[in-house]
Amino acid sequence: MSTFAVNDGTEIYYKDWGTGQPIVFHHGWPLSSDDWDAQMMFFLQKGYRVIAHDRRGHGRSGQSSEGNNMETYASDIAELTEALNLKDAIHVGHSTGGGEVIRYAAKYGKGRIAKAVIISAVTPIMIQNESNPEGVPLSVFDEIRQGTGFNRAQYFYDFPTAFYGWNREGQTVQEGIKHNWWRQGMMGSVLAHYEGIKAFSESDFTEDLKSLDIPVLVLHGEDDQIVPYAQAPRAAKLLKNGKLISYPGFSHGMPTINAETINNDILAFIK
């Protein structure tokens, strides 16, 4: 087990396997680095060095009472990548992790990051406001806050159904994946998960996206019920060097249940 203490003393758990060009994976809310199993194994066998961390308050990392916000998430990554001396790295983020990748790349990544991939990402901004009238209403996030903060065990048990699109006609719940989602979520801090909802819903990545010169691959399922598909073309349009691939019928959880397709598209982009 590898851990690294960031500047406020919080211990960040991470996996670091293999050699070669590094690929750093950033997980979604409220999960952990274990959500990248299908990608870690795939890219390790392709000869890459694969690294994935548990975000503060998630998984096996320290459950700090402070810093459950996007600025600190990105700063934690900057400290970890510096400690591991990662250069020419590819950063891959899912959902909240996609926002984390973009904020890290814009603020800290110069000279260290070669390319980025954001999957089902919360960029450029999720919440509905005056500048984002097509966004998701605050009431939706308040419902997630209520379920997470005060009925977490049951709420997290039910959440994967829409996450993986199992509520669509002809789809069957994959019980092992559902239980693994619940396991990962319940490992983390209820406070970090509760406060993280504001981080993923209200953080505005517009200027971060505009500032990036590196190649960025944007992947999004067209049947995403968690982060609306409309986010993806908006994010891609803001990038100087962005490429969008959309997937008809794919859900928010496509890196897990459609891993073969996603992995091969990422591999082609990296190469």
Q: Which residues are catalytic?
A: 95, 224, 252
Any idea which residue has 């870690």 for tokens?
40
Contact 167, 161 (CB under 8 A): yes
**CB proximity list for 173: less than 8 A, separation 6 or greater:** 161, 166
- Measured from the Cβ of residue 43, the count of other Cβ atoms closer than 10 Å reads 26
Distance CA 156, CA 114 (A): 35
Task: Count how many Cα atoms sit within 13 Å of the Cα of residue 199 in the half-sphere of its side chain.
Answer: 28
Rounded to 10 degrees, what is the CA torsion of 135, 136, 139, 141?
Answer: -120
First CA to last CA distance, the chain: 31
Number of residues that make up the chain: 271
